A and B are shown apart, each in its own frame.
Chain A
Amino acid sequence: MTTTDAQSPFTVGHRTVTRVAGPLIVVDGMDGVGYGELVEVETGDGPVREGQVLELDGSTAIVQVFGGTVGIGRRQTSVLTRGRAARTGVGNDYFGRVLDGAGRPRDGGPQPVPDDYRHVNGLPLNPITRAHPDQFIETGVSAIDGLITLVRGQKLPIFSGAGLPANSLAARIAAQARVPGDDAEVVVIFAAMGVTRREAEFFRTEFLTGGAAARSVLLLNLADDPTIERLLTPRVALTMAEYLAFEQHRHVLVVMTDMTAYCEALREISAAREEMPGRRGYPGYMYTDLASLYERAGRVRGGTGSLTQLMILTMPDDDITHPIPDLTGYITEGQIVLSRDLDRQGIQPPIDVLPSLSRLMNAGIGVGKTRDDHRGLADQLYACYARGREVRRLMSIVGESGLPTEDRRYLAFAAAFERTYLGQGPARRTLTDTLEVGWQLLAPFPAAELKRVSAEHLAHYHHEASVTATDA
């Protein structure tokens, strides 16, 4: 990050560190430093560490040190100020590179030459300069394209559980995403926080081998890297992305994983500051903090680019009411929820469509965007599957023989839907294929049962099978 920036001279100062507490240091003699500004901490041995001013009281500053505080003593440590907030370089020279969690090269390659520098915290987009996202993105995954449609400029998280294949789903979306009828390339900025080396290797092969390298940047903060650096990683990624999307008019997809690791770093700082903890020890301002990241997605008026966010978070204990998924859900425009049950049954990708939702779907589908029957078909598949799952639950109580024929049809539908529609495996499906699979699944139902679809669409697309066939 700042090591790439030789423009502003150091304001040298030898301040006294009076206290070290977890990731925080308390420094005296910090006159002339601004709130939120960047400082550099030198211990004499080891690299310079960066930090940020969290609080100023007279000439005393509380500083969070991104590189961790190991080895910082009260003497031998000097704290230098830079007279500005943390920045990152932005530009095209970063493509194909692996950076660390603070945006410095970690692939042994040369220092990238940035087009410019930007403050990592960004500024809030003025709501009146936004354009409402409404362009359909085809991901090739039926569950998403058909039922949880993603649009350019959306922020859509993947709620995952420990061990569920969220990373490969995200990588797959990043590799396959395209907008039908629009050849504009999608560039991917990948921010990984607290990931293992094995995961890092997976991302490196996914994003930086072959043709993808020219359009990807990978920021890696590994599980054993300093945790507080994770607070920077998404900000650096989003700052690079904003530049590409809103100034260079590119279509940018930012994938952030794992937001749970990010939130833990936030909690660590809060605990070190002895703040009043909120739910489960996470700070009360976590909503605002997460919003300051997620709200950086979008499209702007008069611009042709877009910034789409796909963030992965691991729900502790698969609990969707845990503060991390809960606050995320309150900010994002829907969610894709992965299911342990489906995963156990080998259904890939294991997306549970019932709790999943894309709030911008309506804006991105229909005549002129996808197809006229998309909305009705999606509602119908959803309704049939929800009923099928309900019948399945009931069956576990009353047994299959206790079910009316009609109910058994929904039961069969639910199984087929999971097997074929959701469980498409690695194959890519075009939207047309996805819609066709949906209509095939509805074939066993008589038209009168399909209340969510208009008569016109039924006449055109429904291939009603002989009803008895499925009852057998």
Chain B
Amino acid sequence: MTTTRPHTEPAPLGRSGLARTVTSDTGRVVRISGPVISATDLPHTRLFDVVRVGTERLLGEVIKLDGDLVVMQVFEDTTGLQVGEPVEATGEPLYAELGPGLLGGILDGTQRPLENLSTDGNLYIARGADPHRLDRNRHWDFRPAVEVGDRVGPGDLLGSVPEGHAIEHRILVPAGAAGIISAIHPGPATVLDPVVDIDGHPIAMLRRWPLRRARPVADRLPLTVPLITGQRVLDLLFPVARGGSAIIPGGFGTGKTVLEQALAKFSTADIVIYVGCGERGNELTEVLEEFPQLTDPRTGAPLMERTVLIANTSNMPVAAREASIYSGITIAEYYRDQGYDVAMMADSTSRWGEALREVSSRLEEMPAEDGYPAYLATRLAGFYERAGAVQCLGTPERTGSVTVVGAVSPAGGDFSEPITQNSLRLAGCFWALDTALSRQRHFPAVNWLRSFSQYGLDAWFDREISADWSPLRRWAAASLQDEGVLQEVVSLLGVEALAAEQRITLRIGQALREDLLQQSSFDDLDASCPPQRLLAMLRVVHEAGAAMRSALQQGVAITDITAASVLADLGRMRRWPADNIHESASRLIQRIAEEMSSL
């Protein structure tokens, strides 16, 4: 069997005239400042071309052209590099390699498999390693979906291979290619073996796509379906749409990582891309040890089989941290194009922004706010705008989505800083984590008064879950708001200053906060909560409020009402067995009503 070169998908329509011949140059290093290197004698080099720097051939990328000087960022540690060493420009931008074998992968920021970066039992990351991004030796069982003689164009389904137990990896016609299927090669194939021929040209499964460019789609669709997260506070009060974006700003220790990991485990996505960007090594180890033990709640397959992990921890080179976000979103778009709902978690986008800032400062660019470069907002927009729900290119007709959830780590926990503020303008959901709540061990520490969601998803919930969803949701939001106002009075004057009616509002607020919104990720039973359970719990709290108010009207003393022992059972709702949720709810509603009327 002949093998083909990986298929580099050309630029989408409109730019295809740019098809360029690859010229490689060899220059030499003239200046070194950390990850930023300048070289001369590279006349053919273009912005964002990949370079190999020095005798160790460190991977880098051109970020500025300045007269004869070519300035680049190097994705590996540059210690020991000398002026005068060679720089080889490849004439190509940084590509992601796309194809079967991505799922379950653990990659660095430039998509290098981490297991290939430490050889012979070495514990540390070696420099200059350039392993294949995708395994070239593994065989996949290609099942064609076309016949000889079919006319195909970009994005059309050619066939599929099973990737893991649950995902059918769809092989599509590359962007820019079209013609008549002239041969089909079913059965086992590596990513470089041809699986079909189009007009006599062999097409393999491997695709290459420039990281920094969004992949084309047929159309963008309105966002009408929620990504169910399994987190009550989010699904109820601040739901995110499939294809939407959310940010999680919060000071250190407020629960960003725990929340991102919970979403990676439980959200209703087909594929999860988890990018650990400039964060802790141990957190990735935790994911690596935990995920293989867990199963995807929807398919029953091991969770790792729907996950791609990209790990560029805080002690790994800073420029590769910057690239990691783009590696992640490119892989996400690739699965979206197959018709999947993909969720991408980025922890933390602030470390990505800081990488930009560090490189910019070494370029001696004029800084804008807080030392970040003036193009920070544009870069952030370029990233968040790659989220979306789409009509995919090609046939059969299919839709896919990429939902992006980015953690933000504001300096001093102060949300007025540039990354939070710029992301806030782009993201549809703002899940503000609150240091005070996390100190009270109220988790997830999402501040219900400051957070918001701009996605109108009530119609979906009312239709798919229950017609009383949106009224109850509005009731809960209003009750929390009222309670917040009353709490301020209490903190100044004490609870005795409130009228009996207000103390009921306080008690309802407490039930909503403690028994509904709080949800520990470390409680196996409660770590994820499906919408039906959430609905049942919410109905109980709502009815409890009504029962308390009617007891008050009957003349019962407020202290007796709020001390009623049955209210303690609200705290047990999260332990209800998964079946007969609504029965458990009705029983509790009835007991509350009975006890209240017997007071």
**Chain A residues, Cβ within 8 Å of B357:** 284
Please tell me which one of the listed residues B121, B124, B314 contacts residue A288 in the complex, with CB atoms under 8 A apart.
B314
On whether A288 and B83 interact (CB within 8 A), knowing A246-B123, A451-B571, the answer reads no
- State the CA gap A228–B280 with chains docked (Å): 27
A362 touches B414 (CB 8 A): no
**Chain B residues, Cβ within 8 Å of A284:** 354, 357-358, 361, 371
B491 touches A394 (CB 8 A): yes
14 contacts between A and B (CB under 8 A): A33-B82, A35-B80, A36-B80, A85-B80, A125-B315, A127-B288, A128-B115, A276-B371, A284-B357, A288-B358, A323-B412, A326-B413, A363-B286, A394-B494
B367 touches A276 (CB 8 A): yes
For the complex, is B538 an interface residue (Cβ under 8 Å from A)? Answer: no
Please tell me which one of the listed residues B284, B318, B568 contacts residue A448 in the complex, with CB atoms under 8 A apart.
B568
Beyond A277-B371, A278-B371, list 13 extra A-B contacts (CB 8 Å): A34-B80, A35-B32, A36-B80, A126-B124, A128-B288, A246-B123, A279-B411, A284-B371, A288-B315, A326-B252, A330-B252, A331-B314, A397-B493
- State the CA gap A375–B296 with chains docked (Å): 27
**Chain A residues, Cβ within 8 Å of B288:** 127-128
Determine the residue in chain A with the shortest Cβ distance to B121: A302
For the complex, is A388 an interface residue (Cβ under 8 Å from B)? Answer: no
**Chain B residues, Cβ within 8 Å of A330:** 252, 409
**Chain B residues, Cβ within 8 Å of A55:** 31-34
B354 touches A354 (CB 8 A): no
**Chain A residues, Cβ within 8 Å of B439:** 354-355, 386
- State the CA gap A55–B30 with chains docked (Å): 11
- State the CA gap A105–B490 with chains docked (Å): 62
**Chain A residues, Cβ within 8 Å of B351:** 287
**Chain A residues, Cβ within 8 Å of B285:** 127-128, 130-132
| A window 327-359: CB within 8 A of B | 327, 329-331, 333-335, 354-355, 357, 359
For the complex, is B496 an interface residue (Cβ under 8 Å from A)? Answer: yes
For the complex, is A1 an interface residue (Cβ under 8 Å from B)? Answer: no
A331 touches B280 (CB 8 A): yes
For the complex, is B79 an interface residue (Cβ under 8 Å from A)? Answer: yes
For the complex, is A69 an interface residue (Cβ under 8 Å from B)? Answer: no
On whether A84 and B80 interact (CB within 8 A), knowing A284-B358, A288-B354, A394-B494, the answer reads yes
For the complex, is B440 an interface residue (Cβ under 8 Å from A)? Answer: yes
Considering only CB atoms and an 8 Å cut-off, how many residues of chain A contact the other chain?
Answer: 76
A402 touches B358 (CB 8 A): no
For the complex, is A63 an interface residue (Cβ under 8 Å from B)? Answer: no
A291 touches B496 (CB 8 A): no
Query: Hey, what's the 0/1 contact readout for B149-190 against A, CB within 8 Å counting as 1?
Result: 000000000000000000000000000000000000000000
**Chain A residues, Cβ within 8 Å of B106:** 127-128
- State the CA gap A290–B34 with chains docked (Å): 16
Chain B contact residues (Cβ within 8 angstroms of A): what range? 35 or more
A357 touches B79 (CB 8 A): no
| B window 346-405: CB within 8 A of A | 351, 354, 357-358, 361, 367, 370-371
On whether A124 and B81 interact (CB within 8 A), knowing A278-B371, A448-B565, the answer reads no
For the complex, is B65 an interface residue (Cβ under 8 Å from A)? Answer: no
| B window 21-41: CB within 8 A of A | 30-34
Q: State the Cβ distance, B309 to closest chain A Cβ, in Å.
A: 9
For the complex, is A321 an interface residue (Cβ under 8 Å from B)? Answer: yes
- State the CA gap A31–B29 with chains docked (Å): 12
B522 touches A127 (CB 8 A): no
**Chain A residues, Cβ within 8 Å of B77:** 123
For the complex, is B316 an interface residue (Cβ under 8 Å from A)? Answer: yes
Please tell me which one of the listed residues A34, A246, A278, A363 contacts residue B82 in the complex, with CB atoms under 8 A apart.
A34
Determine the residue in chain B with the shortest Cβ distance to A355: B439
B441 touches A383 (CB 8 A): yes
Determine the residue in chain B with the shortest Cβ distance to A449: B568
- State the CA gap A131–B108 with chains docked (Å): 18
Q: State the Cβ distance, B292 to closest chain A Cβ, in Å.
A: 12
- State the CA gap A133–B31 with chains docked (Å): 41
For the complex, is B253 an interface residue (Cβ under 8 Å from A)? Answer: yes
Interface residues of chain A: helix, strand, loop or mixed (majority): mixed
A124 touches B282 (CB 8 A): no
- Binding stretch for chain B, among A11-19, A164-172, A292-300: A292-300
For the complex, is B118 an interface residue (Cβ under 8 Å from A)? Answer: yes
**Chain B residues, Cβ within 8 Å of A326:** 251-252, 411-413
**Chain B residues, Cβ within 8 Å of A461:** none
A298 touches B371 (CB 8 A): no
Query: Hey, what's the 0/1 contact readout for A300-331 against B, CB within 8 Å counting as 1?
Result: 10100000000000000000011100110111
**Chain A residues, Cβ within 8 Å of B278:** 287-288, 291
Determine the residue in chain B with the shortest Cβ distance to A133: B282
Query: Hey, what's the 0/1 contact readout for B74-89 against A, CB within 8 Å counting as 1?
Result: 0001111111100000
Interface residues of chain B: helix, strand, loop or mixed (majority): mixed
Determine the residue in chain B with the shortest Cβ distance to A327: B411
Q: What residues make up the interface of A, taking CB atoms closer than 8 Å to B?
A: 31-37, 54-59, 84-85, 121-133, 153, 246, 275-279, 284-285, 287-288, 291-292, 295-296, 298, 300, 302, 321-323, 326-327, 329-331, 333-335, 354-355, 357, 359-360, 362-363, 379, 382-383, 386, 394, 397-398, 402-404, 448, 451
B31 touches A57 (CB 8 A): yes
Query: Hey, what's the 0/1 contact readout for B219-256 against A, CB within 8 Å counting as 1?
Result: 00000000000000000000000000000000111000
Q: What residues make up the interface of B, taking CB atoms closer than 8 Å to A?
A: 30-34, 77-84, 106, 114-115, 117-118, 121-126, 251-253, 276, 278, 280-282, 284-286, 288-289, 311, 313-316, 318, 351, 354, 357-358, 361, 367, 370-371, 409, 411-414, 439-441, 491-496, 522, 565, 568, 571
A56 touches B32 (CB 8 A): yes
B314 touches A287 (CB 8 A): yes
B81 touches A34 (CB 8 A): yes
B522 touches A362 (CB 8 A): yes
Please tell me which one of the listed residues A33, A279, A295 contacts residue B315 in the complex, with CB atoms under 8 A apart.
A295
**Chain A residues, Cβ within 8 Å of B251:** 326, 329
Determine the residue in chain B with the shortest Cβ distance to A354: B439
Please tell me which one of the listed residues B82, B83, B281, B441 contacts residue A127 in the complex, with CB atoms under 8 A apart.
B281
A288 touches B318 (CB 8 A): yes
Please tell me which one of the listed residues A132, A275, A302, A323 contacts residue B286 in the complex, with CB atoms under 8 A apart.
A132
Q: State the Cβ distance, A334 to closest chain B Cβ, in Å.
A: 7
- State the CA gap A133–B280 with chains docked (Å): 13
Q: State the Cβ distance, A180 to closest chain B Cβ, in Å.
A: 23
Q: Which of A128, A323, A333, A362 has the most CB of B within 10 A?
A: A128
Determine the residue in chain A with the shortest Cβ distance to B118: A126
Q: State the Cβ distance, B435 to closest chain A Cβ, in Å.
A: 9
Please tell me which one of the listed residues A84, A128, A291, A379 contacts residue B114 in the complex, with CB atoms under 8 A apart.
A128
Determine the residue in chain A with the shortest Cβ distance to B490: A394
Q: State the Cβ distance, A414 to closest chain B Cβ, in Å.
A: 15
- State the CA gap A167–B278 with chains docked (Å): 30
B494 touches A402 (CB 8 A): yes
Determine the residue in chain B with the shortest Cβ distance to A37: B80
B79 touches A121 (CB 8 A): yes
**Chain B residues, Cβ within 8 Å of A321:** 412-414
B493 touches A398 (CB 8 A): yes
Q: State the Cβ distance, A279 to closest chain B Cβ, in Å.
A: 6
**Chain B residues, Cβ within 8 Å of A287:** 278, 314, 351, 354
B284 touches A127 (CB 8 A): yes
B123 touches A129 (CB 8 A): yes
Q: State the Cβ distance, A458 to closest chain B Cβ, in Å.
A: 13
B361 touches A275 (CB 8 A): yes
On whether A291 and B81 interact (CB within 8 A), knowing A57-B31, A359-B253, A382-B441, the answer reads no
A127 touches B313 (CB 8 A): yes
- State the CA gap A295–B122 with chains docked (Å): 17
